Structure 1
Amino acid sequence: MSRFQVRKVAVLGAGVMGAQIAAHLVNVKVPVVLFDLPAKSGPKNGIVTKAVDGLKKLKPAPLGVADDAALIQQANYEDNLELLRDCDLIIEAIAERMDWKLDLYTKVAPFIAPHAIVASNTSGLSITKLSEVLPEEIKPRFCGIHFFNPPRYMSLVELIPTPTTQPQILDQLESFVTTALGKGIVRAKDTPNFVANRVGIAGMLATIIEAEKFGLSYDLVDDLTGKKLGRASSGTFRTADVVGLDTMAHVIKTLQDNLKDDPFYSSYATPAVVGRLIEQGALGQKTGAGFYKKVGKEIQRLDPASGTYVAGGAKADSIVDRILKKPAAERLKLLRESTNPQAQFLWAILRDSFHYAAVHLKDIADSAREIDFAMRWGFGSKQGPFELWQDAGWKQVAEWIKEDIAAGKTLSPVALPDWVFDGREGVHTPEGSWSAAQAKYLPVSTLDVYKRQPFPETVLGAGGASALKSGTEEFKNDEVRVWTLDGDVLIASITAKLHLISPTVTEGLLKAVEIAEQKYKGLVIWSPDEMFSAGANLEALMPVFMKMGAKGIAPEEKKLQDMMLRLRYSTVPVVSAIRGIALGGGCELAVYSSARVAAMESYMGLVEVGVGLIPGGGGLTYVARRAAEAAAKAPGTDLLAFLKDGVVAAASATVGTSALESRKIGYLLDSDIVVPHKDELLYVASAQAKAMYETGYRPPVKRLIPVAGRSGIATIKASLVAMRDGGFISQHDFYIGSLIADVCCGGEVDAGTLVTEEYLMALERKHFCGLLENPKTQERIMGMLQTGKPVRN
């Protein structure tokens, strides 16, 4: 299948979703034009301008770099419809009103290019009904596309065809949204609220019903239904506040209006408390009050009996905490048999979710896989309902649900479908996932785009390959696995907790470079989870420090620095495949590689000041070298102008909050590749390493580095004095900042002095080890090791 070329996208509607969809398109470098109604006064594009300006202030930030808001082309329906002719994809994202959407389609249809895909971003309106007003030539290219909010961060996108949607259109759109936007696709049937909201909102309603039945407060329910249950940390009621109670009520109304024959219909009633809050204008986070209200620094929760807000913070009973840490089968058995109301509540909502998913599978999804992925990607669950059920023992759980139905304990008296009891052990198998509609197991998609994912996310029971058990192993120690998938590129995977860099990791990476130079075209540093490396393993060095002090640490720091230089000057390309956090030593590992391929959600920074140290693995040497390289390209400019930002970033522990921002700070280069989809990272990094090798890769030539010297140190220290005296940094921060300046400027030498990387690294090492003897630094290190939080002293 040829790739669907998307040169420009139009987003119709500059509301909350439309503007953020446009922002994410800008993040992934897709040109976008954002439309809305012409303003009644002032500039015609005033509505869009206000929305674009608002993107810079939103939290969490919809833009990887706020300045990129300027890349969104602004338009209105009165003057600019001709712009649609140049768009390959048109996403309508106006308010959830069928009549408004139909009216807009009539207006824009004459301007839609004959090849363009048209999609409606709706959370639950009938896609088929929306298509009826479109000209016959557009209907085959029309479908639903449901982004979850916020679009930058939420993985899930549901694609919904109509009976007239051409299959290849959906394939093209799925390929684009997967690889270009980095999303997880669930294909949904055109039923009310589709898959995720159908199951998720029904689950929230069930939770509210069961919470009232067991008399549990909102804060307690959120503690029970958050991370402890393997779900989003916001739990149930805080999630409702974030989504907006008016939005939640709208989705509930879609269920009420369209599912009167649903056996669970009685549970779709709008909860009385939600109705009261909406009447009062308490719509959740956006109005400052909902189930919760922030009063000063305190988060209070609603007391439904009195209608007032009271102190929150209730926590689960310790016995329930212990139960929730048990394996799935034991966990569900203990919850069901417990007399503790909190445990009974948890069994009830889990049973309700299994019951609901099984009864509705036939009508709302092609297979059980779609429901489980929808709940994972759309609602933050670690496991979908079918996965958990299968994990806990399919047959036993099915019998428990059957018994509860017979006892009248369930939300609906409807029986489980017959297929549940046909002797199966679950719904997910290596062959595929169960389709109740087709009465067979459906395999995963074979679209070409998924060939870019060597280890795609999979469901429990599907038998997905484990990255750390795949391929051919070349070397392994306790914290690094060195292996290959294709025989061309070697892969080094750090397996230590948080992928912290210890002497064992250093040894493993050195071995990987040695093997790669002997037998492979390149080396990729990649691990299969949400972490590149959280930095150096200080705890691993504690025994050496306790025995020998800082002088015992110096040789280990030298080994780490030598390893970084070994990566930089390897005779084959070394590509760091970065996903999640790359902090401290992890950031240094990345910048000393030949190239970097980073997932969009990558967070990079030299953060050692948080533990009272300076970067010790070559990070400051990198800052000095990059500044010198930049200055060399601009003859006649002051080196210090290029150095200052890097020094400030290290001294303030600045972290890039996206790959795009990390590039702006300087930890990624313009030549480095940003990959929207996390599961394509290894594929792209391996391709990059091979391409570099095949085009005659040679390591960089060692050059002397001009430094800013003592005059540069004095200038930077003057800035630090102002920050210290203004109360922005502590005296110890000032001291650490002065040491950072000393390294980056090359120490007490004349400006323009030429030094080697090894010279700068020796300065780093000296100051790093000296700080280890400082009581203030020791306080910070112990505080971090004990609490995981930085100590400011």
Structure 2
Amino acid sequence: MKIRKAAVLGAGVMGAAIAGHLANVGIEAYLLDIVPRDLSEEEKQDRKARNRLAQAGKDRLFKEKPSPLYDKAVADLIHVGNLEDDLDQLRNVDWIIEVVVENLKIKQDLFEQIEKIWKPGMIVSSNTSGISINQMVEGRSEEFKKHFLGTHFFNPPRYMKLLEIIPGESTDPKLVQYMKAFAEEVLGKGVVLCKDTPNFIANRIGTYGLQVTLHAMEEFDLGPDEIDVVTGRAMGRPKSATFRTLDLVGLDTYMHVCNNVYEHVTDKEEKEVFKASPLLKRMVENNWIGSKSGQGFYKKVKTEKGKEILALDPKTLEYRSRKKLKANSLDQAKRGKTLAKKLQALIYGEDTAGKLAWYITKKVLLYSANRLEEIANDIVSIDQAMKWGFNWDLGPFEIWDAIGVETSVARMRAEGEKIPRLVEELLAAGKSSFYEKGDNGVKFFHIGGQFREVQENEKVINLAQLKAQGKVIKGNSGASLIDLGDDIACLEFHSPKQAIGPEIITMMNYAVKEVSANYRGLVIGNQAPNFCVGANLMLMLMEAQDYNWPEIDMMVRQFQKTMGSLRYLDKPVVAAPFGMTLGGGVEVCLPADRLQAAAETYMGLVEVGVGLIPGGGGTKELLFRWMDGVDPKDRVALQPLVNHVFMAIGQAKVSTSALHARKYKFLRSCDGITANSDHLLYDAKQVALGLAKSGYKSPQPIRIPVVGETGYSLMKLAAHDLMLSGYISEHDYKIASKLAFVLAGGNVPEGTVVSEEYLLDLEREAFLSLIGEPKTQARMQYMLAKGKPLRN
């Protein structure tokens, strides 16, 4: 089995986005939809008119934010068509994904058409969010059924990690395993295998929790804004909490998902929970369906003070100013050092917020345990589905462990709740948690009263687990050097926001010596929310405000020297960036022999946002990447390349993905991209091993041709024009001028070849002069306080 080409049938929001994500990972895709029913007789003969719906779906990919595409150029891999003229094209694909309207009869009819052109071995799947997989292929051949399964993507497909795979009764188990591996490794998904039940796992549990919260709004007499204060980050869930999430999803879509469960479950009590509330029905009737209609539980309005977000009063159905629920339990939760402590403080609180959190949590935990055998193979599947599909920090059974199984069950019993069999079995076995650490990793409690090992993918390297196993070579408060096995070491940043300070630089220097002496290679990576957001801005600002220029000069020199040590280490260095990789984070990556970046990597030298230019070698390194291989005598070629660097740094360009980072040469063609961030360290380790096995030799010192005084004048002139046009401020112009001077190589003739040390000196001098500027210090202070740049 190998998927090289695919076809997506249905070019609505999900269908087009799935085609977009296939293109993201390099898979050519046909995007087909029906022929519009309102065509004139003339248009019926026009292919463009007949493909209009599919073309509209493709066009939408360029407009949506956040973008469904890693880079706009990947859209060239998507070919539009229609289901009448282009059905024969499906003979050329390896995978057909059905994403048409959620109507069983329409799907059945489509699969009947598909089988007529179907070739043995071709994979066919449905992206249904809840219709029975087995019912869809009733009447199809057994061979077709063997190659059919459900592949439920979550929206938006590029960003949502969960992919639910639902085998049918006849699906070939080998196909299921292949699709699981393909989805994880190529599409970058977290895969959960589901049973063919209404709404599968994530939507079944998730919509139940949302319904319970809607009921709680009435029972506790609270507004959506007050409930969202509790059900967001305080409970380890996304900031969008409950009602902002519903607005984003769309209340009409949400009602459809609820109705699907309501119509297909037989338990009366469960059925009642999924029954749409009168409030929800009224809102959908009024077209108050959320963000796409401009109002839902929230509404953005213009006021004299600017824009204001109002909240719906569920009693009057009028919008009012938002209220923020205040409670001691919320304050206590904020002080908790771990998520478990935060949850305990909130859920066991005696005030309104605590009682609300307990009410919702209790219902969801009991429901998850009661429905386990029906919808999932094990508790791990439910926990992963909720974390990957709804962005919860912990899944239901992990939450149960966090708040204490014995304590919570005792309270549930006191409140008259019936405890599920699985939980009773756990307690009867003398256990107090659903998960425990085993000899080879983590074990989970399984149906039937047994603990089983969590089957970890060999490509998932867990740094926390390695540290617990005593694999730390050396560490301090900012970073650790960890043994990854096979004589490869990993330098992990763990300072706040992975900001680079003296502790990290100390550990980097230690890592260089230790790896040189005892290891085959070095990987630089971590498993925090982001790779690195830059240097320790607060430390630099404090030194500047104290006029401690010698200390700042020493720090910058030390950082530059350390980056040079990485570049010329006699063992291969592989950086593994992901998420926000900004400023100093980029400067750590650029000297590495290779980058193995997560697909979702946002790289940029953004120092101008705080009134500076890169000071740790970033300017020099990016210039080298653009000038590498250029003939110094080819003066016509030099200036345009330098201009690219000038714009990238001067405008603080940040890539929208790892693929897009290649546009700025933050990544080169030799650097790799990993779709699944869970596999990133494994892939980086393999690259380091490969370089070591191939007889690695450290690079030779570099010399760079520069554009000199002529190029400097041209760049300054361009910046001056922008200032006169009002696009940049006087201080922006000053920063741009300093940057241009460094990139031009100072006052030397055009075509002069200069050394690294020469450029580093220019870079450091520019950095030091700018950090002494009051307006730069104001920018630094504003960034620290507000988290966004100040334009002064």
Paired residue secondary structure (2:670): coil
1:9 matched to 2:6 = yes
- Of 23, 36, 45, the residue aligned with 2:20 is 23
CA distance in 2, matches of 1:429, 1:305: 46
Aligned partner of 2:380 in structure 1 is 369
Q: Please, which moves more after superposition, 322-331 or 345-354?
A: 322-331
CA separation of 1:96/1:440 partners in 2, compared to 1, >3 Å: closer, same or farther?
Answer: farther
CA contact (8 A) 1:627 1:642 kept: yes
Q: Deviations over 1:357-410 (max 9, x none)?
A: 12111211111111111111111111112111112211121121122235xxxx
CA separation of 1:765/1:331 partners in 2, compared to 1, >3 Å: closer, same or farther?
Answer: closer
Aligned partner of 2:129 in structure 1 is 123
In the TM superposition, what is the alpha-carbon distance from 1:636 to its structure 2 partner? 6.7
In the TM superposition, what is the alpha-carbon distance from 1:65 to its structure 2 partner? 0.7
Aligned partner of 1:462 in structure 2 is none
1:557 matched to 2:564 = no
Aligned partner of 2:182 in structure 1 is 176
CA contact (8 A) 1:369 1:428 kept: no
CA contact (8 A) 1:23 1:72 kept: yes
Q: Deviations over 1:18-59 (max 9, x none)?
A: 111111111111222222223443413222111111101101
Aligned partner of 1:451 in structure 2 is 458
Paired residue secondary structure (1:78): coil
- Of 273, 291, 298, the residue aligned with 1:285 is 291
Aligned partner of 2:523 in structure 1 is 524
- Of 328, 343, 354, the residue aligned with 2:365 is 354
CA distance in 1, matches of 2:495, 2:282: 51
CA contact (8 A) 2:366 2:419 kept: no
CA separation of 1:174/1:317 partners in 2, compared to 1, >3 Å: closer, same or farther?
Answer: same
Matched AA of 2:193: R
Aligned partner of 1:403 in structure 2 is 414
CA distance in 2, matches of 1:413, 1:358: 9
Aligned partner of 1:186 in structure 2 is 192
- Of 293, 304, 309, the residue aligned with 1:299 is 309
- Of 149, 155, 159, the residue aligned with 2:155 is 149
Unaligned runs of 5+ in 2: none
CA separation of 1:318/1:634 partners in 2, compared to 1, >3 Å: closer, same or farther?
Answer: farther
1:451-490 mapped onto 2 (5 Å cutoff): 451-455=458-462, 466-470=465-469, 472-490=471-489
Q: Please, which moves more after superposition, 471-480 or 249-258?
A: 471-480
In the TM superposition, what is the alpha-carbon distance from 1:695 to its structure 2 partner? 1.8
CA separation of 1:519/1:585 partners in 2, compared to 1, >3 Å: closer, same or farther?
Answer: same
- Of 225, 232, 240, the residue aligned with 1:234 is 240
Aligned partner of 1:139 in structure 2 is 145
1:788 matched to 2:783 = no
Q: Deviations over 1:257-297 (max 9, x none)?
A: 01132532221110212111111122211111111111132
CA distance in 2, matches of 1:216, 1:416: 34
Aligned partner of 1:679 in structure 2 is 678
CA separation of 1:328/1:529 partners in 2, compared to 1, >3 Å: closer, same or farther?
Answer: closer
Question: Alignment length, in residue pairs?
Answer: 773
CA distance in 1, matches of 2:68, 2:453: 34
Aligned partner of 2:105 in structure 1 is 99
CA contact (8 A) 2:596 2:672 kept: yes
CA contact (8 A) 2:635 2:751 kept: no
Paired residue secondary structure (2:728): coil
CA distance in 1, matches of 2:261, 2:451: 29
Matched AA of 1:403: A
In the TM superposition, what is the alpha-carbon distance from 1:722 to its structure 2 partner? 2.4
Aligned partner of 1:509 in structure 2 is 508
TM-score by length of 2: 0.93
- Of 189, 194, 201, the residue aligned with 1:195 is 201
In the TM superposition, what is the alpha-carbon distance from 1:520 to its structure 2 partner? 2.2
Q: Please, which moves more after superposition, 238-247 or 414-423?
A: 414-423
CA distance in 2, matches of 1:211, 1:389: 23
CA contact (8 A) 2:531 2:578 kept: yes
In the TM superposition, what is the alpha-carbon distance from 1:191 to its structure 2 partner? 0.8
CA contact (8 A) 2:344 2:402 kept: no
CA separation of 1:727/1:595 partners in 2, compared to 1, >3 Å: closer, same or farther?
Answer: same
Aligned partner of 2:80 in structure 1 is 74
1:426 matched to 2:426 = no
CA distance in 2, matches of 1:262, 1:569: 70
CA separation of 1:262/1:164 partners in 2, compared to 1, >3 Å: closer, same or farther?
Answer: farther
Paired residue secondary structure (2:596): strand
CA contact (8 A) 1:335 1:346 kept: yes
Matched AA of 1:304: P
1:314 matched to 2:324 = yes
Aligned partner of 1:86 in structure 2 is 92
Paired residue secondary structure (2:696): coil
CA contact (8 A) 1:241 1:285 kept: yes
CA distance in 2, matches of 1:643, 1:559: 27
CA contact (8 A) 2:6 2:28 kept: yes
CA separation of 1:692/1:14 partners in 2, compared to 1, >3 Å: closer, same or farther?
Answer: same
CA contact (8 A) 2:426 2:445 kept: no
Q: Please, which moves more after superposition, 118-127 or 471-480?
A: 471-480
1:657 matched to 2:664 = no
CA contact (8 A) 1:355 1:401 kept: no
CA contact (8 A) 1:329 1:393 kept: no
In the TM superposition, what is the alpha-carbon distance from 1:331 to its structure 2 partner? 5.8
In the TM superposition, what is the alpha-carbon distance from 1:222 to its structure 2 partner? 1.2
Q: Please, which moves more after superposition, 19-28 or 495-504?
A: 495-504
CA contact (8 A) 2:329 2:346 kept: no
CA distance in 2, matches of 1:85, 1:536: 54
CA separation of 1:667/1:302 partners in 2, compared to 1, >3 Å: closer, same or farther?
Answer: same
In the TM superposition, what is the alpha-carbon distance from 1:304 to its structure 2 partner? 2.3
CA separation of 1:671/1:470 partners in 2, compared to 1, >3 Å: closer, same or farther?
Answer: farther
Aligned partner of 2:68 in structure 1 is 62
Aligned partner of 1:711 in structure 2 is 710
In the TM superposition, what is the alpha-carbon distance from 1:427 to its structure 2 partner? 2.2
1:386 matched to 2:397 = yes
Matched AA of 1:405: G
Paired residue secondary structure (2:143): coil
Aligned partner of 1:580 in structure 2 is 579
CA distance in 2, matches of 1:318, 1:573: 53
In the TM superposition, what is the alpha-carbon distance from 1:413 to its structure 2 partner? 10
Q: Please, which moves more after superposition, 45-54 or 75-84?
A: 75-84
In the TM superposition, what is the alpha-carbon distance from 1:416 to its structure 2 partner? 8.4
Paired residue secondary structure (1:138): helix
CA separation of 1:337/1:373 partners in 2, compared to 1, >3 Å: closer, same or farther?
Answer: closer
Unaligned runs of 5+ in 1: 407-411, 457-464
Matched AA of 1:215: D
In the TM superposition, what is the alpha-carbon distance from 1:546 to its structure 2 partner? 5.3
Paired residue secondary structure (2:578): strand
Q: Please, which moves more after superposition, 509-518 or 157-166?
A: 509-518
CA distance in 1, matches of 2:144, 2:98: 14
TM-score by length of 1: 0.93
CA distance in 2, matches of 1:180, 1:633: 41
Please tell me the root mean square deviation across aligned C-alpha atoms, in Å: 2.3
CA contact (8 A) 2:597 2:672 kept: yes
Paired residue secondary structure (2:425): helix
CA contact (8 A) 1:498 1:534 kept: yes
1:758-773 mapped onto 2 (5 Å cutoff): 758-773=757-772
CA distance in 2, matches of 1:337, 1:693: 54
CA contact (8 A) 2:426 2:449 kept: no
Q: Please, which moves more after superposition, 713-722 or 587-596?
A: 713-722
